[in-house]
Amino acid sequence: MSRYDNLEYRRAGRSGLDLPVFSLGLWQKFGTDFSYDTQRAIVLHAFELGITHFDNADRYGPPSRAAQQFFGKVLRRDLAGHRDELILTTKAGNPIGDGPYQQGGSRKSLLSSLDNSLRDLGVDYVDVFYHHRADLSTPLEETVGALVSAVQRGKALYVGVSNYDPARTAEIAALLRVAGVPLLVHQPRYSILDRSIEENGLLDTATADGFGVVVYSPLAQGLLTDKYLTGIPAGARARTSAFLKPEQITDEYRRRATILNKLAADRGQTLAQLALQWVLRRPEITSALIGASSTGQLDHNLGALAFPALTDDELAIIDGAI
């Protein structure tokens, strides 16, 4: 059986590019503070399971650029012969240092970061180059010009944005379309606990402007698992991460998570699998970024695809819990 029989692939908006419904994000646990051998095993296992899309950024580590340097090593040693089967992405714009050129949406910041990312990864081009975060202090036309230059110079095949609001997304999509480099994809946060892209109109913008949506944090940094139902385990992300704090583990959170966990159990799956299925129920969603600390966790998350679609009644229970 081919690795490509394992996963569904979805078209990214009105482009010609298909992405697996699950993509591997290197945001966390792929810096120098984790075992290289474990990280390598996860990446290679993901590829064998049909995950061809690996999402990176200059900021990912720690320290910044460490995740890209790690992936470059794996690519060189293990996956060099598969480059044409991989979708490699990187981002620039979030701060990676104190200097004025280590953040923002200027031509200098974006194109310099891209050159460094290509060196980190050991490749001539990335498949998608993102502006990581809107920079209201830089003219949008300059940011667009940098993204277009990346494509025209052969350093990126497509461009994307992340964490843009709907209005600015529509604006940059229009400018890119005029320049002949359509916006391929937007990468926002989305989960049962964070539905802002449904509420603010971003999904409608995606349909209107024809770009795909690749969502991050579909498990809400672990809140949509059974890990915190009875407390905060030692070594859990809520104790070690800058993105999840112990004060978020409230009684109200546990009440909601317990309802969701019971629904998942009634369906014969885990809360994490339920949460991933919920995200993928929307046709606008091209792919969900998942992380992993082991190959077993990766297998578990991909197991979400084995369950029947959520019914209207089940969706109502989820809505009622939140």
Q: What does the pLDDT read at residue 67?
A: 98
Tens of pLDDT along 139-152? 999 999 999 999 99
Q: What does the pLDDT read at residue 62?
A: 95
* Domain boundaries along the sequence of the chain: 3-224+278-293+305-310
Name the nearest CA neighbour of 284 among 165, 217, 186: 186
Average confidence (pLDDT) over 88-93: 98
Q: Which two tokens stand for residue 281?
A: 């129920």
Is the pLDDT reported for residue 237 higher than 80? no
Tens of pLDDT along 1-12? 688 888 999 999
Q: What does the pLDDT read at residue 239?
A: 57
Averaging pLDDT over each range in 54-58, 224-228, 241-245, which range is the top one? 54-58
Average confidence (pLDDT) over 155-179: 98
CATH topology of domain 3-224+278-293+305-310: TIM Barrel (3.20.20)
What single string gives the DSSP state of each residue in 132-188? -S--TTS-HHHHHHHHHHHHHTTSEEEEEEES--HHHHHHHHHHHHHTT--EEEEE-
Lowest mean pLDDT among 157-161, 232-236, 248-252: 232-236
Is the pLDDT reported for residue 235 higher than 70? no
Is the pLDDT reported for residue 234 higher than 70? no
Tens of pLDDT along 188-226? 999 999 999 999 999 999 999 999 999 999 999 999 999
CA–CA gap between residue 187 and residue 214 (Å, rounded)? 5
Averaged pLDDT score across all residues of the chain:
95
DSSP state of 245: -
How much is the pTM? Answer: 0.95
Share of the chain above pLDDT 90, in %: 90
Q: What does the pLDDT read at residue 233?
A: 67
Bin 210: left if φ > 0, else alpha if -120 < ψ < 50, else beta: left
Is the pLDDT reported for residue 250 higher than 80? yes
Q: What does the pLDDT read at residue 134?
A: 97
